[in-house]
Amino acid sequence: MIDSIGKSCEAVDAGSERSLVNSPPFSRRSFLAKTSCFGAFYAIARMIPLPAELAGDSRVSQTPIVDKGFASVRRVGEGLYATISDPSKGFQTLCNGGFLVGKDGVLMIEGFGSAAGAAFQMDALRMVSQVPVKGALDTHYHFDHSMGNGFYAGNGTPLWAHANTAKRIVESYGAMQGADKAVALAPLEKATKDSKTELARKHRDENLGMVTNIFNIVNGTVLALPNHPIDPAKLPMKMDLGGLTAVIESYPGHSGTDIIVRVPEQNVVYTGDLLFSGLYPVCFDTQATVSGWRQTLKTFASWDKDTVFVPGHGPVCGQEGVALFRALFDDIEGQAQKMYKAGVPAAEAADLYVVPEKYKNVSIFVWDFSIAPTITKMYAEWGAKQGSGDVASRQFGSVRR
Ligand SMILES: [Zn+2]
Res 13: pLDDT: 35
* Cα of 276 from ligand 1 centre, angstroms: 10
Residue 16 has pLDDT above 70, yes or no: no
For range 248-265, the mean pLDDT: 98
Res 25: pLDDT: 33
Express as a percent the part of the chain with pLDDT over 90. 78
pTM of the complete model: 0.87
Return the C-alpha torsion angle 343, 344, 347, 353, nearest 10: -130
Q: For residue 38, which of 80, 76, 93, 94 has the smallest C-alpha distance?
A: 94
On whether the CB atoms of residues 325 and 297 are closer than 8 A, the answer is yes
Return the C-alpha torsion angle 365, 120, 322, 162, nearest 10: 90
Q: In what order do the strands lie in the sheet with 80-85?
A: 66-67, 71-77, 80-85, 97-101, 106-109, 133-137, 159-162, 228-230
Rounded distance, CA 260 to CA 253, Å? 12
Query: Cα angle at 315 between 312 and 318, to 5 degrees?
Result: 90
* Cα of 110 from ligand 1 centre, angstroms: 11
Residue 50 has pLDDT above 80, yes or no: no
* Cα of 56 from ligand 1 centre, angstroms: 30
On whether the CB atoms of residues 8 and 216 are closer than 8 A, the answer is yes
Question: For residue range 55-101, what is the model confidence (pLDDT) as tens digits?
Answer: 888 899 988 999 999 999 999 999 999 999 998 888 999 999 999 99
Res 56: pLDDT: 82
Residue 32: pLDDT band (50, 70, 90) is very low
Rounded distance, CA 286 to CA 29, Å? 31
* Cα of 342 from ligand 1 centre, angstroms: 32
* Cα of 284 from ligand 1 centre, angstroms: 9
Rounded distance, CA 187 to CA 192, Å? 9
Residue 140 has pLDDT above 90, yes or no: yes
Torsion sign (Cα): 307, 311, 316, 317: negative
Task: Give 196's DSSP letter.
Answer: S
* Cα of 375 from ligand 1 centre, angstroms: 18
Question: For residue range 284-332, what is the model confidence (pLDDT) as tens digits?
Answer: 999 999 999 999 999 999 999 999 999 999 999 999 999 999 999 999 9
Question: For residue range 349-360, what is the model confidence (pLDDT) as tens digits?
Answer: 999 999 999 999
> Which residue has better confidence, 279 or 62?
279
Question: For residue range 346-394, what is the model confidence (pLDDT) as tens digits?
Answer: 999 999 999 999 999 999 999 999 999 999 999 999 984 444 444 444 4
Rounded distance, CA 67 to CA 135, Å? 24
Paired strand residues for 268: 263, 308
* Cα of 117 from ligand 1 centre, angstroms: 16
Amino acid 318 reads G
Residue 130: pLDDT band (50, 70, 90) is very high
On whether the CB atoms of residues 103 and 129 are closer than 8 A, the answer is no
* Cα of 74 from ligand 1 centre, angstroms: 22
* Cα of 230 from ligand 1 centre, angstroms: 18
* Cα of 394 from ligand 1 centre, angstroms: 17
Residue 26 has pLDDT above 70, yes or no: no
Rounded distance, CA 105 to CA 129, Å? 10
* Cα of 250 from ligand 1 centre, angstroms: 14
* Cα of 127 from ligand 1 centre, angstroms: 28
Contact partners, residue 123, CB within 8 Å, separation at least 6: 66
Res 178: pLDDT: 85
Amino acid 46 reads R
Mean pLDDT estimate for the chain = 87
At 161, which helix (H) or strand (E)? Answer: strand 159-162
On whether the CB atoms of residues 266 and 77 are closer than 8 A, the answer is yes
Paired strand residues for 97: 83
Express as a percent the part of the chain with pLDDT over 70. 83
Res 35: pLDDT: 42
Provide the greatest CA pair distance for the chain. 61
Question: For residue range 144-173, what is the model confidence (pLDDT) as tens digits?
Answer: 999 999 999 999 999 999 999 999 999 999
* Cα of 140 from ligand 1 centre, angstroms: 7
Q: Map residue 280 onto helix, strand or coil.
A: coil
Contact partners, residue 243, CB within 8 Å, separation at least 6: 79, 102, 103
Rounded distance, CA 74 to CA 63, Å? 7
CB-count burial class (<10 Å; 0-12, 13-18, 19+) for 346: buried
Query: Cα angle at 288 between 284 and 292, to 5 degrees?
Result: 145
Contact partners, residue 89, CB within 8 Å, separation at least 6: 69, 70
Q: For residue 121, which of 146, 142, 151 has the smallest C-alpha distance?
A: 151
Rounded distance, CA 140 to CA 149, Å? 12
Residue 30: pLDDT band (50, 70, 90) is very low
* Cα of 305 from ligand 1 centre, angstroms: 25
* 319-341 and 371-381 helices, crossing angle to 10°: 60
Res 22: pLDDT: 31
